[in-house]
Each structure stands twice: as structure tokens, then as C-alpha cells.
Amino acid sequence: MTLPGELDNLATHVSVEDVEFEYQSIHISNRVAEVEVSGVIDIKLQYGSNSDFKNDMGDVIEDSLDFSCSLLLDMPHSKIISVDWAFD
């Protein structure tokens, strides 16, 4: 899973623990679907390497972030055209 840069840059290692979301709107044409969602993403932030953490020189923090996301989907080819994230 590729994380958005805003999340990936928060710590040495970032893992997604859970995602809960609601559809805010869906607009579908014959070729494109626009989907708006919002929700909460639970993440684990590890500062330092695994070795640092084992030697008590790193830290792990769990956090939850509110987000919204806009997706543009190419319906005939089942491909994602674009994804725009926003974190509160």
C-alpha cells in the first residue's frame, strides 16, 4: 500500500492500523466516477529503526487522523485517474 506523502513523511516507519470512512458523494457518468469520502485513519508511527527500537533508542506512537479524499475513476478501464487527500 502506498501512503500519501503527508503520512509517509511523519516517521521512519508508518503503518496503517485501521481505516473507517463514509461516502460523502458519488457522481457517475458513462466514463468517469467522482467519489468523495471522509473518515478516520488509525496509524502507528515508529521513530528510529527496528534495531533502535529493540535497543530502547526508538519510539512508537499510535494516532488517529481525520481525513477527506477525492477519487476520480476511469470506469471503462477500472483505473484510478487521481486521488487527492486532505488531513485535519
Q: Assess whether pLDDT exceeds 80 at residue 53.
A: no
Assess contact for 68 and 36: CB atoms under 8 A: yes
Q: What is the pTM of this model?
A: 0.76
Confidence band, pLDDT 50/70/90 cuts, at residue 71: very high
- Give residue 27's Cα distance to chain centre: 22
Structural domain boundaries of the chain? 5-87
Give the pLDDT mean for 13-18.
90
- State the chain's maximal CA–CA distance in angstroms: 56
Q: Assess whether pLDDT exceeds 80 at residue 51.
A: yes
Give the pLDDT mean for 60-67.
92
